[in-house]
Amino acid sequence: MASLRNIESVVLLVVIFEVCRGLGQDPMVTVGQGTLVGKTVTFQENKFINISKQIDLFLGVPFAEPPRRFEPPRPKEPWSDIWNATSFESSCFQNVHPINAPPSEDCLYLNVYAPNPTPTNAAVMVWIHGGSFNDGSAMSYDYYGVPMAAVGDVIVVTINYRVNIFSRFSTGDEAARGNYGMLDQVAALQWVQDNIRAFGGDENKVTIFGESAGAASVNFHMLSPLSKGLFHQAIMQSGNGVAPWSFEQHPENDRQKAERLGDAMGCDDVSDSSLLVECLRTKDANELMTAAARVYGGYQVTLDGVFMEDTPLNLYGKGEFAHVPVLAGFNEDEGTFVVVFSPPTFHGTPNPPPLPRILLNTLVADSVSVYDGDDDILEDAVFQEYVDWTTDDQDAVNYYRPVIDVISDSFFRCPTDVVVRKHVEAGDAVFKYFMTHGPSATSYFEIGEIIPFTPWLDAGHAEDLIFVFGMPFIEQLAGIHGHNLTDAEKAMSVQVMRYWTNFAKSGNPNSPSTVGNFDSWPEYTIPELRHKELSPEFKDGRAALARQCHLWNEHLYALAASTGNLDEDQKEWKESYTSWQNDMILWRTEFEEYQENTPCNE
């Protein structure tokens, strides 16, 4: 009898659901944990897309229980009432967050944007936001999935995950292994597998896509045994797991950092992992986040033996990665984002700021530190490539362009080259892009203050998001960014959305939907090295940054191998020679000052 009553209840719920749809009421969907009520919006655009579609929104859907600090996520328990999924939920704890989504440790929520009427076996796109693993939120109109869902007839899912110390903290043992934000993402992907069919999606046609730290996250899922089978295609925008900023290069330091954080927070016994974790769980979240920023500096995914069993390069070397179709690329001026935020006085200035040689020197020294070789020789090789030697001897040289290019190549563009080559060599279909167009608006803004448009940002880091998410067509972003784009740029956004959603549906950006009067996006192969330029013209190109990436990906490793084992006599001679050079420069300077200040006839 109990089973019969359950069947009757299900039938009644389905009937009510269909009647409500027919009467234009708010949409209702039943997932594994209970019933959700969402809302329906109409997306209409007559000039560039010529479309009028209804999209169902289910916002702030819980995919896990509120997490306990420094523990993996737990599955969401069932609820008895109808869950109101009509507004964004909290962002995960951070300093920077959307105004409409204040931060909280109770933050494991996602949003679903689904075509109405309910489709059958629609492709699913799961968005993983960026933010340096320090901040970011799915609860933002920047990642509003309505235009993409409408243009491509796909289901868009955007997910929250823990960031900064609440994701990264690790004691280096079983007490706290870290990578909690990555485990949150796994839980969200599992929720999609279990429930997306209720929205009309196909759990066997899931594309994960992300930008910056979100793109690195996508790549980590391609390398993690925990994510196997949870997705079927991957899009990486300006980031990956090979990039030096994305993966902890020295996980052996996790323990030391954990103890330093414990000391900073006043924990009594930092040598006992369990006691340290329990102590930090009692601390104020804001105070903990502030102290951690001083101890850690930045946040990366670490080698925990659970989510990541080895380093990304080792896993690629062993062939232990997901063999799925890949779409990946980068922007021409990735490095300008560093200058955007420091100092803020440069916002809105018509020309690039003057950057000194000492900044370039520091940047290059940091960039070559990941290679195990003679730092001076490696640095000289980088300077040889990036310094304009026709002006280097002049006073007041502006090193803006070399700084931007070193950041762009070493952090984003050349690590991408490593990853796409690994997949091509393994026989995976790869489509590569190079965004060369600097938009007439920016994706950057500060809470409560719009950053003035700055033309020298050009095709900067994250500026591709304007086009991928159709920002010029998002009403809620009016006055922030996107609406100042030219007609050609708005048409470009529509084309990019078609490419992205085509890839989600078929593993190829060229079909099934038509992509206008442009040449087909060529598959990236070796040695052809062809890519698609993201610009209003969508031209094809080849061998983007080939020389620079050979430096970072091949030549510096060869130099490191040949200089990393200098014997003691060579090292002593080198140090003495360097000291002698410095002494000669000092002597020459003092002698010139003497000549200028001492008349010869006295």
Q: Stretch 189-213: mean pLDDT, rounded?
A: 98
Q: How far is it, in rounded angstroms, from Cα 136 to Cα 150?
A: 24
Q: For position 450, what pLDDT does the model report?
A: 58
CA atoms within 13 A on the CB side of 524: 32
* pLDDT value at 428 more than 80: yes
Report the pLDDT value the prediction gives residue 575, as an integer from 0 to 100: 53
Instruction: Tell me which residue of 455, 243, 248 sits closest to 339, measured CA to CA.
Output: 455
Question: Are 326 and 425 spatial neighbours (Cβ–Cβ below 8 Å)?
Answer: no
Q: What is the pLDDT of residue 372?
A: 86
For residue 59, give every residue at least 6 positions away whose Cβ sits within 8 Å of its Cβ, in sequence order, or none.
38, 85, 86, 87, 88, 89, 111, 139
Residue 177 has pLDDT above 50, yes or no: yes
Q: Are 33 and 79 in contact (CB under 8 A)?
A: yes
Residue 32: count of CB within 10 angstroms of its CB? 11
Range with lowest mean pLDDT among 17-21, 480-484, 592-596: 17-21
- pLDDT band per the 50, 70, 90 thresholds, residue 12: very low
What average pLDDT does range 28-40 have in this prediction? 98
Q: Which pLDDT does position 19 carry in this prediction?
A: 33
- Alpha carbon dihedral 571, 572, 578, 579, in 10-degree steps, equals 150
d(CA 363, CA 380): 13
Catalytic residues: 212, 334, 461
Reported as a pLDDT band with limits 50, 70 and 90, residue 578 is very low
d(CA 354, CA 29) in angstroms, rounded, equals 56
Of 553, 551, 529, 457, the closest CA to residue 244 belongs to: 553
Bridge partner residues of 64 (DSSP): 75
pLDDT band at 345 (very low <50, low <70, confident <90, very high): low
Residues in Cβ contact with 582 at an 8 Å cutoff, skipping those fewer than 6 apart = none
Please tell me whether the peptide bond between 73 and the residue prior to it is cis, using omega within 30 degrees of 0.
Answer: no
Say if residues 302 and 250 touch (Cβ distance below 8 Å). Answer: no
pLDDT band at 581 (very low <50, low <70, confident <90, very high): very low
Q: pTM for the complete prediction? A: 0.89
Indicate whether 254 pLDDT > 60.
Answer: yes
Mean pLDDT of 308-335: 97
pLDDT tens for 383-401 read: 999 999 998 888 788 999 9
Per the CB < 8 A criterion, the answer to whether 136 and 105 are in contact is no
Q: Which residue has the higher pLDDT, 376 or 598?
A: 376
Mean pLDDT throughout 453-457?
81
Return the higher-pLDDT residue of 451 and 534.
534
Angstrom distance (rounded) from CA 378 to CA 361: 12
Per-residue pLDDT tens over the stretch 330-339: 999 999 988 8
Helices H / strands E in the chain, number of each = 19, 16
Structure tokens at 345: 């006085």
Cβ pair 354, 343 in contact under 8 A: no
Query: Do 300 and 213 contact (CB within 8 A), yes or no?
Result: no
- C-alpha torsion sign, points 12, 13, 18, 22: positive
Burial 445-483 (b: 16+ CB within 10 A, else e): eeeeeebeebebbbbbbbbbbbbbbbbbbbeebeebbbe
- The mean pLDDT of 480-486, rounded to a whole number, is 70
Q: Quote the pLDDT of residue 1.
A: 40
- Beta strand pairing status for 109-116 and 155-159? antiparallel
Q: Are 149 and 42 in contact (CB under 8 A)?
A: no
Confidence of residue 353 (pLDDT cuts 50, 70, 90): confident
Q: Collapsing DSSP states into helix, strand and coil, what is residue 506?
A: helix
CA dihedral over 534, 540, 545, 546, signed as positive or negative: positive
Vertex 537 angle, CA 148 and 490, to 5°: 40
Q: Is the pLDDT of residue 536 over 90?
A: yes
Sequence-ordered strand ranges (E) for 523-574 = 530-534, 540-542
